[in-house]
Structure 1
Amino acid sequence: MIPAIRTWIVACVTAGGMLAALPAHSQISDGVVKLGVINDQSGPFSSLTGPGSVLAIRMAVEDMKPQLGDIRVEILVADHQNKPDVGVATVKRWLDVDNIDAVLDVSNSSVALGVQTLIRERNKVALYGIIGTTELTGKQCAKTGFSWVHDAYALVSGPVKTLTKGPEDTWYFLGADFEFGKNMVQVAKRLVTARGGKTVGEAFHPMSEADFSSYLLQAQGSKAKMVAFANAGTQLVNVMKQWQEFGMQGGGQRPIATLLSVADVHAAGMDVMQGLTATTAWYWGLNDDTRAFAKRFFARFNAMPTESQAGMYSATMHYLKAVAATKTDATDAVVSRMREVPVDDMFAKGARLRPDGKLAHDFLLVTVKTKQESKAPWDYYKVDAVIPSSDAFTSLEASDCPLVTDAAKSK
């Protein structure tokens, strides 16, 4: 039996009031644009997405009031509990009964693949946040499904390409035993081999795992130069705490996070996370624009935004700008507008949606600072390098997305 999912309407806004009549020229189905936000609201990934993503989406809706005019927007929210059956059933109900126009965030690879099938069948929009599996914009791509933040290749390519020079650079992988972790390790191993390095071991842990001692002992025994963790949220926090407890922090092996957020560093503390290397799609302290958004977000959430939360603000803004420009929520018109206009905001500068659904934007290679290096609260990252979008993602030439034509591949 599928557990009950609580759903809330958290925004219903118009420039002229909730009951304002739609102008005659607008073609908004049911008189309202409906957004369905589904993610991990209380589990291991809730700090990366969760209520913070809902707030970021709400902020985008509020900021779009002047452009939307009398177009009303509703936001429905649900917790998929990291269970594909729960997530897919919820989205199916939203699409078939509540007539939502777009699914947002999702933040779980297995759920996302199920959602992708639904939106493809019903010609609806999905704006995905932190989805690791490359299948989403590969073999399972959809013309209305957009991966806004990252995928497994983008997350592992920075550290692997930077740290792997030859056969002496060895890797051990510890991943979460579900689609995200498995896909992340598979992609990373392929890149290690391509760079001339060697994978000396791998292991996968259950989603509910809290004791990583046996896994860490295996990693230590492998004598790999790099130990990479293909997990996130509370899983990553717990494994890094035990990494420190076992004295591995100064043991000569370098820890790599394939998915790291400032929320993880804040939860574990800089003493635990210092020296951890990762690739990230966005950092709140990068420039004046990112800091301005972060200041507004922090005032309402008491935490700095993660890359996923910032990405969901950007995705929502881009979608609603297309609705405002076309004066309709008809999928084909909105998607066409989204693809025509670049994304140029505090999340991504001059970024465009590729034929496979990826938002092509730059990434950052970062290392967690020591307490001595940190100058202010939440000042956690040293930016080691900017990774251009052309290097961050798999090339269109190598894409196995059926929507990528020969003409697009040749560009």
Structure 2
Amino acid sequence: MTRRATLGTALAGTAALWPGLRARAAGSKTLTIGVCSDFSGVYSDIGGKTSVACVHQAIEDFGAAAKGYDIRVIQGDHQNKPDVGAGLARQWFDNGVDMLIDVPNSAVGLAIASVAAEKNKTYINSNSASSLLTGKRCNAQTVHWTYDTYMLSHSTGGAMVANGGKSWFFITANYAFGQLLRDQTSAVVKAAGGTVVGDVAYPFPQTTDFSSFLLQAQSSGAQVLGLANAGKDTVNSIKQAHQFGITQSGMKIAGLLIYINDVHGMGLEIAEGLVLTESFYWNMNDHTRAFTKRVLPKTPTNYPSMAQAGCYSGTLHFLKAVDVIGVPAAASGASVVAQMKRMPTSDDAFGQCYIREDGRFMCPSFLFRVKKPGESSIPWDYYDLLHTTPAVQTFAPVATEGCPLVKA
């Protein structure tokens, strides 16, 4: 199919919704939320249907029905193509969607941020990693929830260097996310006196066989294999590294973005001992367990990742902000986001947090070690907590990011 035909196919599935979305009677409390995600590709386990379930859970926990709200949720697959994602966002916003959320894939995420600014619509990104969303590409309509490349490079990358991993070889998904994660982690390694001995970038999302890249990494003599990728690519990379005996030979793997869903896909026999960073873990405390217990009936085979929990948290805070300023004001994304920044966030997934002036959701990050099989006592009980980093240290200082919203 041509790219134009692909875009047309992606948009056709929501065309029937437009007549209903366009009409919002004066005084009504009708809102529409669009979940733009990967429903069929490498990021479907960390986004997709579970992100939609978490949005619905936020609507329930907000008490929408009791407060007289009619909140509709629609979904669309961006197919990991920036033009498809941007086209979907533009058509949604033009036809009554009040807020767009999720968006795994940084190239797609950045493209949609531009559309949100152009259309002045609320955009909550919980599933792209690029720190550019709150840096040079920030805008008044966008909030970046959950995590970013700065957090991952400094937490996981910094921990690996501190434990003796001074020489690195990177396998990098060749698009905005992978490139930025590799570059920021390389800077952390070099600042600590380490070296980068090699890097290979692979075509994304076409690659499933990582054997040649893994052999290059093994022959480099590097102490650490840095995986600047995510989702099924990370799972396949680690599984194939295990098959080649790379970890048994003494090379350590730094999975710079690993979700609990990835650990589940690998199994503890392969994933045990991996060190990773997340901002949410379902079994962290009574509140995270309570949230997970409520959402699991909607998604019984897939526990929420940090990004999916971010869809819950971001949606809930959006609804609280709209409840303050009123539904008519929700037509302006800048007005909604300004109110979201004025209010502290509070929910069972992330606890008490806040949104910085550049649109960065400020939450702690947690460094985990994956348990051995015998250490896991219940389903999806996979992590031991190694270290907690407070929010102000988790993300880059606001003055260094170049966001035009930040006053000198």
With the length of structure 1 as denominator, give the TM-score of the two structures.
0.90
Residue 347 of structure 1 and its aligned partner are, at CA, apart by 2.6
Structure 1: distance between partners of 2:200 and 2:193: 22
- Pair 1:8–1:299, CA change in 2 (3 A): farther
User: Is the 8 Å Cα contact of residues 154 and 185 (structure 2) preserved in structure 1?
Assistant: yes
SS of the counterpart of 1:259? coil
Partner residue of 1:115?
112
Q: Does 1:63 align with 2:70?
A: no
Partner residue of 1:292?
290
Q: Please show how residues 165-314 of structure 1 align to structure 2 within 5 Å.
A: 165=162, 169-206=166-203, 207-302=205-300, 303-314=302-313
- Pair 1:75–1:405, CA change in 2 (3 A): same
Residue 168 of structure 1 and its aligned partner are, at CA, apart by 6.8
SS of the counterpart of 1:164? helix
Structure 2: distance between partners of 1:190 and 1:387: 19
Structure 2: distance between partners of 1:316 and 1:167: 41
Partner residue of 1:2?
5
Q: Does 1:358 align with 2:360?
A: yes
Residue 255 of structure 1 and its aligned partner are, at CA, apart by 0.8
Residue 167 of structure 1 and its aligned partner are, at CA, apart by 9.0
* Larger mean Cα displacement after TM superposition, 170-179 or 77-86: 170-179
Structure 1: distance between partners of 2:16 and 2:71: 10
Structure 2: distance between partners of 1:351 and 1:75: 25
- Sequence identity, in percent? 34
Q: Does 1:103 align with 2:100?
A: yes
Residue 287 of structure 1 and its aligned partner are, at CA, apart by 0.5
SS of the counterpart of 1:278? strand
Q: Give the letter for the 1:216 counterpart.
A: L
User: Is the 8 Å Cα contact of residues 166 and 196 (structure 1) preserved in structure 2?
Assistant: no
Name stretches of at least 5 consecutive residues in structure 2 with no aligned partner. 18-23
- Pair 1:232–1:263, CA change in 2 (3 A): same
Partner residue of 2:398?
396
Q: Does 1:387 align with 2:389?
A: yes
Q: Give the letter for the 1:393 counterpart.
A: F
**Structural RMSD (CA):** 2.0
Residue 336 of structure 1 and its aligned partner are, at CA, apart by 2.5
Structure 2: distance between partners of 1:209 and 1:94: 31
Q: Does 1:349 align with 2:348?
A: no
- Count, aligned residues: 390
Structure 2: distance between partners of 1:298 and 1:8: 30
Partner residue of 2:155?
158
Structure 1: distance between partners of 2:55 and 2:164: 45
Q: Give the letter for the 1:396 counterpart.
A: V
Partner residue of 1:83?
81
* Larger mean Cα displacement after TM superposition, 339-348 or 39-48: 339-348
Residue 161 of structure 1 and its aligned partner are, at CA, apart by 2.0
Structure 2: distance between partners of 1:210 and 1:318: 37
User: Is the 8 Å Cα contact of residues 119 and 145 (structure 1) preserved in structure 2?
Assistant: yes
Q: Give the letter for the 1:238 counterpart.
A: N
SS of the counterpart of 1:150? coil
User: Is the 8 Å Cα contact of residues 158 and 365 (structure 1) preserved in structure 2?
Assistant: yes
With the length of structure 2 as denominator, give the TM-score of the two structures.
0.91
Name stretches of at least 5 consecutive residues in structure 1 with no aligned partner. 11-20, 407-411
User: Is the 8 Å Cα contact of residues 36 and 102 (structure 1) preserved in structure 2?
Assistant: yes
* Larger mean Cα displacement after TM superposition, 345-354 or 269-278: 345-354
Structure 2: distance between partners of 1:61 and 1:278: 31
